[in-house]
């Protein structure tokens, strides 16, 4: 396997596909079916959507990304999202990096010492935990505290001790049975809230209230729509995905008159071009493919662009 400089023709072709694109999230086009809202200090915009009577039949956004904007009794609007039937308070959404910081609702509403009673589960949703988090293991009402863990003062008594430790600090063969703990949960929190990982017990409340960070990605069922400058949605009655286009029109697959785009987040070729100026080619078939595609007469459709992007990814190693 050898490093080859990217041929100029392939570079120009890929660059053309990239720069003719219009990012749906930053487009000046109007999407009347995809309104934005403010809930407290959180802006709710695509792919998130506000849960309400108007979204009971269909909504513009990703399934599972609906946000409840409720009043907690002190005249504040509270943005809440449900993940696998558990509620989380939204501390922040950064659309540019596709990241969201959440706090367990039980922690958010706790007056003194919060207690998590469940693990964090995101199996069926297009989220991943970011690398800014650390996993903590919490044991409740134990008869002692092992050397690698830290007692949680506000959850402990003379006879029953609750403790917390970083999952990575726990010996692989450690047996908790001797400590007779009542319960154990694994929680995730952002690492930068800690003054010191060695002060987990004292920093426990601060750690939980710091929340945890998730990142989301484009879901496969929405790729065609978003590549045509549309915004993806879902119809609860037909149980089918929809494509909301600029100007208020709705399509079943893609906005046929939209401008196809390749999202730079999922375009590894251009990322490598920018960073290294060359790519590693597995074989010459990638050049042949690029040539045949670039010589195709007529407009390049969204299906062809998506297919090309996938084949490029299969041909390259990073």
Instruction: Give backbone dihedrals phi and psi of 179, rounded to 5 degrees, phi first.
Output: -100, -5
The answer on pLDDT for 298 being more than 60 is no
- Residue 85 belongs to a domain: no
The answer on pLDDT for 292 being more than 60 is no
CA distance 229 to 24: 5
Predicted local distance difference test score (pLDDT) of residue 55: 87
The answer on pLDDT for 273 being more than 60 is no
The answer on pLDDT for 291 being more than 90 is no
In this structure, the answer to whether residues 173 and 237 fall within a common structural domain is no
Predicted local distance difference test score (pLDDT) of residue 47: 97
- Residue 190 belongs to a domain: yes
Predicted local distance difference test score (pLDDT) of residue 113: 87
Q: How many structural domains does the chain have?
A: 2
Place of tokens 């409840």: 68
285 sits in which H/E element: helix 285-294
Alpha helices in 65-137 (DSSP H): 105-109
Classify residue 76 as exposed, middle or buried by CB count within 10 Å of its CB (0-12, 13-18, 19+).
exposed
- Residue 93 belongs to a domain: no
Predicted local distance difference test score (pLDDT) of residue 167: 92
In this structure, the answer to whether residues 205 and 283 fall within a common structural domain is no
Q: What is the tens place of the pLDDT at every residue in 56-110?
A: 899 999 999 999 998 766 667 899 999 988 999 999 999 999 999 999 999 998 8
Radius of gyration, alpha carbons of the chain: 24
Strand order in the sheet with 250-251: 58-60, 231-235, 240-244, 250-251
Q: What is the tens place of the pLDDT at every residue in 107-162?
A: 998 888 888 888 898 888 999 999 989 999 999 999 999 999 999 999 999 999 99
* pTM: predicted TM-score of the whole model, two decimal places: 0.72
Task: Write the CB contacts of 194 (distance below 8 Å, at least 6 apart in sequence).
Answer: 134, 200, 203, 206, 207
- Residue 295 belongs to a domain: yes
Which residues are registered as beta bridge partners of 230? none
Q: What is the tens place of the pLDDT at every residue in 189-202?
A: 988 776 666 677 77
CA distance 56 to 51: 8
In this structure, the answer to whether residues 213 and 122 fall within a common structural domain is yes
Question: What average pLDDT is seen over the chain?
Answer: 77
pLDDT over 70, % of the chain: 68
- Residue 71 belongs to a domain: no
- Given 178, 200, 218, the domain boundary residue is 218
- Residue 43 belongs to a domain: no
Given pLDDT bands bounded at 50, 70 and 90, which one contains residue 306? low
Least confident of 27-31, 46-50, 242-246: 27-31
| Domain, as residue range, for 213 | 116-218
In this structure, the answer to whether residues 186 and 249 fall within a common structural domain is no
pLDDT over 90, % of the chain: 46
- Residue 194 belongs to a domain: yes
- Given 165, 184, 218, the domain boundary residue is 218
User: Please, are residues 186 and 135 in contact by the beta-carbon 8 Å criterion?
Assistant: yes
The answer on pLDDT for 4 being more than 60 is no
In this structure, the answer to whether residues 194 and 253 fall within a common structural domain is no
The answer on pLDDT for 15 being more than 70 is no
In this structure, the answer to whether residues 300 and 276 fall within a common structural domain is yes
Given pLDDT bands bounded at 50, 70 and 90, which one contains residue 264? very low
Place of tokens 């993940």: 83
The answer on pLDDT for 238 being more than 70 is yes
Place of tokens 């071009």: 273
The answer on pLDDT for 205 being more than 50 is yes
In this structure, the answer to whether residues 191 and 285 fall within a common structural domain is no
User: Which tokens hold the place of 91?
Assistant: 């501390």
The answer on pLDDT for 243 being more than 50 is yes
In this structure, the answer to whether residues 202 and 285 fall within a common structural domain is no
In this structure, the answer to whether residues 124 and 177 fall within a common structural domain is yes
Q: Is 45 left (phi over 0), alpha (psi -120 to 50) or beta?
A: beta
In this structure, the answer to whether residues 294 and 275 fall within a common structural domain is yes
Least confident of 75-89, 171-185, 244-258, 279-293: 279-293
Which residues are registered as beta bridge partners of 69? 79
Predicted local distance difference test score (pLDDT) of residue 307: 52
User: Higher pLDDT residue, 77 or 275?
Assistant: 77
In this structure, the answer to whether residues 198 and 292 fall within a common structural domain is no
The answer on pLDDT for 297 being more than 50 is no
- Residue 107 belongs to a domain: no
- Report strand pairing: 49-50 vs 66-71: parallel
User: Higher pLDDT residue, 180 or 195?
Assistant: 180
- Given 186, 218, 250, the domain boundary residue is 218
């Amino acid at each position: 396997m050898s490093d080859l400089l990217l041929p100029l023709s392939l570079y120009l072709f890929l660059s053309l596909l990239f720069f003719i694109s219009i990012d749906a999230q930053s487009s000046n086009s109007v999407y009347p079916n995809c309104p934005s809202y403010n809930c407290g200090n959180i802006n709710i915009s695509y792919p998130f959507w506000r849960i309400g009577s108007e979204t009971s039949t269909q909504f513009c956004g990703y399934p599972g990304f609906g946000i409840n904007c409720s009043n907690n009794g002190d005249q504040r609007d509270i943005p809440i999202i449900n993940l696998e039937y558990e509620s989380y308070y939204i501390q922040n959404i950064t659309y540019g990096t596709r990241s969201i910081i959440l706090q367990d609702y039980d922690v958010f509403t706790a007056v003194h010492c919060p207690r998590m009673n469940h693990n964090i589960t995101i199996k069926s949703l297009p989220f991943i935990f970011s690398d800014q988090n650390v996993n903590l293991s919490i044991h409740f009402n134990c008869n002692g505290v092992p050397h690698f863990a830290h007692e949680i003062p506000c959850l402990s008594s003379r006879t029953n001790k609750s403790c917390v430790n970083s999952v990575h600090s726990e010996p692989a063969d450690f047996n908790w049975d001797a400590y007779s703990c009542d319960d154990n949960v694994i929680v995730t929190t952002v690492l930068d809230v800690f003054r010191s990982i060695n002060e987990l017990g004292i920093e426990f409340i601060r750690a939980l209230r710091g929340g945890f960070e998730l990142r989301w990605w484009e879901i496969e069922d929405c790729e065609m729509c978003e590549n045509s400058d549309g915004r993806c949605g879902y119809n609860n009655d037909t149980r089918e995905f929809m494509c909301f286009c600029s100007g208020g029109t709705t399509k079943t697959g893609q906005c046929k008159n939209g401008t196809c785009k390749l999202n730079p987040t999922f375009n590894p070729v251009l990322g490598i071009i920018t960073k290294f100026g060359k790519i590693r080619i597995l074989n010459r078939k990638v050049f042949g493919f690029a040539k045949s595609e670039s010589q195709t007469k007529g407009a390049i459709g969204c299906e062809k662009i998506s297919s090309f992007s996938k084949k490029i990814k299969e041909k390259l190693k990073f």
